[in-house]
Every structure is written in C-alpha cells, then in structure tokens.
Structure 1
Amino acid sequence: MAPKIAIVFYTLAEAEKKGIEAAGGTADLYQIPETLNDEILGKMYIPSTRRSTVLLTRLLHQGALWGKYAGLFVGSGGQGGGQESTAIATLSTLTHHGLIYVPLGFKTTSALQSEINEVRGGSAWGAGTFAGADGSRQPSAKEIELATEQGKAFYGAVSKVNFA
C-alpha cells in the first residue's frame, strides 16, 4: 500500500508536491485555519485561507497524526529570520502530535545547499524561502528546486515503510 501524503502549507508547497509526484507518489494539500482576518493577511502578503484546500482542525486531541511521517519547510523575512531555529522549534509540535520527523539532510541536495552564488533559504532541516521584509518576495528558482528535491527525498523515505 502506497503512503498517502498531506502537505500543510504556505509557500513552497507546490514544489514539494511536484517532487513527491516526480518520485512516484501522490500528495494532497491541506491548510491550517488562519486566526488573522483577510485584511491583515493581505497586508502581510499572505494568501487567504479561502481556497480549494481542506482545512485541518483539532487533530492533537484526536491523536489523528500519531505515528505518521512529517517533513518541514519554512519561510522567513530574511537571512536573519531564524529558519533553522524555526525548524528546531517545530520539532516540539511534531513530538506533541506523535509525528515521525524525516529531515531533508544532504544526501540528494548537498551541491545545491552548498552553493553560495545567490541568497537562498533552506537547510538540512528542510527547504526554505526568504519572503523579504514586507513579505512580497516569491521563492527563487533555487528555493523551488530545493523544495522539489525535498519532496522526492521525503517520498523516497516514506515509500520504504510497509503501510499494510
């Protein structure tokens, strides 16, 4: 039985999904409900939650995610935005849900992650993007490539598990 993959997102989700599909898997996009109104979200350049994706709610108390696999990708305002510390802090949330963390690592992306020709988000913890101080910057081609490779690597890891 092939693993069913859900991507909970903001930026880079489509690239992660593309990587999973390129590796032979399938993935669905999900979103956590926003607590801010659309006016404030618009000023932050964050898209509204009113899209064609399924919204996730109250999974912790149902134990709905226990034993499932998770990776992560992040976005921040700039290079000092704490992408690695955000990833580390997210491990607490994953642990509370009982999720099994699958890091990106360097196996398939060492050369890409070591390039210093341009500013790029992401690390061994997972893909990342810089949104700019006002949130208006979109992911670069390298950031999208890293997210796509993470999708492939994630599917490669979880597809080895016997889900039967």
Structure 2
Amino acid sequence: MTRILVLYYSSYGHVRALARAEAEGARSVAGTQVDIRRVPETVPAALRKSAGYVDDDTPTATPADLADYDAVIVGTPTRFGMMAGQMKQFLDQAGGLWARNALVGKVGAVFASTGSQHGGHEATLLTTQIPLMHFGMVIAGLPYSFAGQTSRAGIIGGAPYGAGTIAGADGALQPTATDLDGARFQGAHVARLAAALATVNHLTEAA
C-alpha cells in the first residue's frame, strides 16, 4: 500500500478545495492510501474572524508525520510571491527529519493559489519545492500530458511546476473545473511515481 499525505494551509478555502482534488486523484490509483491534513494555524482567532478566514476542521499534522508517507503533496496560498508563513513555520520544524534523511527518496509535489495570474503563482510553486529538495525528495510537477493547462478558455491556474488556481484579488474566484482536474491529475501522477519508487526501494532493501 502506497501512503500519500496531502498537506495544506488554506485561509479562504481555495487551497483546501485543491487539496481534496489532489487526494481524489491519488486515490484513483489502485493500492494508494491518502490522508489529508492541514498545518496548524498561527493567526489569532480574532484576526482570522475579522479577515474572513473560513473555518476548517481538517485534522492537523505534525512534522514527524511526514516520515510515515511515501509521498507528500504540499498546498499553500501565495504570500508576497512565496509560501504562506504557516507552511514555512511547519517545514522549519522538520529539521530532525532532515538530519536523519527520513524523507530522502520520497516524492514531493506542490500546488498553490494566488490572487492574480502574475502575483507570484509560479514563484510560489518553485520556491516551495526548494525545502522539499533539501529533504532529498524527488519532485513531481504537473506534466503537459495534462492538456488543460494550455487551455485558452479562461483564467487557468497551475504550471508545469504544480497545480493551482487564481482566486482573484478579493478571493471571489473559485477553482475552475480545469484547476480541479489539474489537481486530480497531479495527485494521480504522484501516486504512480510513489508506488514505482517504493517498489524499487523495497527490492533494493531486500537484495
């Protein structure tokens, strides 16, 4: 059984919607077990309420949990062209995993939401991949075999670096059908890669 963690932070629900689609895609691959978890919130409750953050009862993860999975798919909104501070703080606590090479050879992938098409969408995807590479993970993007990312039908999120959505400056835009399809595609892509790598690692250990 291949184990995949979809780990996300979401303020207004856009990234959470993509996370659920990523999980759906991963589960479509036979022999895959998927858990969806969020990183802990760091914004005080009063500020969350005044800013209109959506409530989220998804269970939280701890950094130690990452070692239990064959792949980790990370989702984050964009904050000034980079991952949200909540996600950065979570990853910054994974030094113990890094020190013992606990994530080396596992699959890592990223998806994101931004307020505009040029508001750091690709920058967030790429820079969020950097700590995953420091952990020794094998990075999976969103291949062009998902043809939806070249559509001219409207505002489309995502890039070869990962799935995504454009929320609009006021957050009014919800993930499109194409955005969600891209997340499902990426989830399935990660699941297949993770299964293949897990098989190779198992055979190597048995040799």
Shorter-chain TM range is 0.7 to 0.9
Match of 1:8 in 2: 7
Deviations 1:14-38 (Å, cap 9, x if unpaired)? 0000001112222101222222123
More strand by percentage: 2
- Identity percentage over the alignment? 28
Structure 1: stretches of 5+ with no match in the other structure = none
8 A contact 1:17–1:26 mirrored in 2: no
1:143 to 150, 167, 179: 179
User: How far apart are residue 44 of structure 1 and its match?
Assistant: 4.6
Structure 2 CA distance, aligned partners of 1:3 and 1:92? 24
Match of 2:135 in 1: 97
User: How far apart are residue 4 of structure 1 and its match?
Assistant: 0.8
Match of 1:30 in 2: 37
Structure 2 CA distance, aligned partners of 1:39 and 1:132? 24
1:158 to 169, 194, 206: 194
Structure of higher RCO (CA pairs closer than 8 Å, 6+ residues apart): 1
Deviations 1:63-86 (Å, cap 9, x if unpaired)? 343432111101000111221111
Structure 2: stretches of 5+ with no match in the other structure = 64-92, 203-207
Deviations 1:73-124 (Å, cap 9, x if unpaired)? 01000111221111121122212333221122213x0x21111111010011
8 A contact 2:116–2:168 mirrored in 1: yes
1:119 maps to 2:159: no
Structure 2 CA distance, aligned partners of 1:140 and 1:43? 27
More helix by percentage: 2
1:39 to 36, 46, 50: 46
RMSD over aligned CA atoms reads: 2.0
- Partner SS for 1:71: strand
TM-score in terms of structure 1 length: 0.86
